[in-house]
Amino acid sequence: MRISKRALLGVAAVSAVLALGVSQSQANDEVRLRLNWMYYGSHAGFAYGKDKGYYKEQGIDLDIRSGNGSGSAHRLVANGDSTFAYGSCASMTNLAAKGAPLISVGVIDAMGTEAIIVRPDAGVKTIGDLKGKTILTTANAGVNTFFPLVLKNAGLAEGDVKVTNVAEGALVSSYLQGSGGAVGILGGLDDKPAEIKANGGADPVTFAYSDYGVNQVGYCIVTNTDTVKNKPDLVKRFMAATVNAYKETEANPDAAVAAMADIVGGSMAEDAGKAQARAVLGVTLSVLYSKANKDKQLGLNVPQDWADMLELMKKYNGLETDKPATAFYTNDFLPK
């Protein structure tokens, strides 16, 4: 039986349409993750997950972008530039309370690593010794949120310590140089001491916020509430890949750092850069689970931790909201 050219063309056209449909249905979701800052050790889990194909396995093409502070990263999720952000939970709560469409769908740093970090030659042995002195920080940094509470609990008024903003990229160099007479910085114990040492500085004197009545949730995975509503399966798949990635990072931290070094290149791919990143990652891995997370569920938004943080923010940081703590997070998308 002879088949006409028209029929053959018709079959070909149908086949092409069917193939296109299959291709489109199998296409991965393009997802942009916005970090709180440029790559450092705490971010190694994301890089490892991308390198090992955990996000691909979940149908996700992951684009990891650097940020400019937690507040900035969260705002980029709120305005639709990025799908997810990794940043300060307190910073996200401040924005969400003011109407930003943001919610935490998972926690990586379950406890805050925020601290006052002081040069050892400054003669500062207690926070009280900071009275009349200058501390450097970065605008929009999550570490700024509870600094007034730390001062209050240490017996100081907010105005007793001068705070000066500098660019994040200049924070450590300004610290080492004592710019403007500054004796220290506000920063994370997870990254700043390692960065200081990598740049030739001595071990700093540190005052962890957690020692001064600050019980806070650390760093969250944040997304837009519209994404939760309209693309719940995407959120679930992203969190499955992320939890898997950080579990594997717990087991193989050196491999995670190597994966990040391959992505970033430059000085991070050198031995000194890897060592610095590994030191930072070690701090992050030590705070994956808060004391209240009895079952050690990675990624869990612990209700008691959130309730404590919200109460602190209302009492000491002027947070105005009548929403319960549960309005700012959900555990619905964590792997069971």
pLDDT confidence of residue 315: 84
H/E element holding 26? helix 5-26
What is the rounded CA–CA span in Å between residue 66 and residue 190?
Answer: 17
What domains appear along the chain, each with residue ranges and CATH number? 28-111+216-328 (3.40.190.10), 114-212 (3.40.190.10)
pLDDT surpassing 80 at residue 228: yes
Retrieve residue 20's tokens.
Answer: 């296109």
What is the rounded CA–CA span in Å between residue 307 and residue 217?
Answer: 10
C-beta separation of 109 from 115 below 8 A: no
C-beta separation of 88 from 142 below 8 A: yes
pLDDT surpassing 50 at residue 184: yes
Q: Range with the lowest mean pLDDT among 23-32, 120-129, 159-168, 182-191?
A: 23-32
Q: Quote the pTM value.
A: 0.78
Q: Which pLDDT band holds residue 26 (cuts at 50, 70, 90)?
A: low
- Residues with Cβ within 8 Å of residue 214, at least 6 apart in sequence: 112, 114, 146, 149, 150, 153, 312
Q: Which pLDDT band holds residue 5 (cuts at 50, 70, 90)?
A: very low
Residues 266-286, mean pLDDT to the nearest whole number = 93
pLDDT surpassing 70 at residue 8: no
pLDDT confidence of residue 265: 95
Q: Range with the lowest mean pLDDT among 21-25, 41-45, 232-236?
A: 21-25
Residue ranges in 141-186 assigned as alpha helix (H): 147-153, 171-177
Percent of the chain with pLDDT over 70: 92
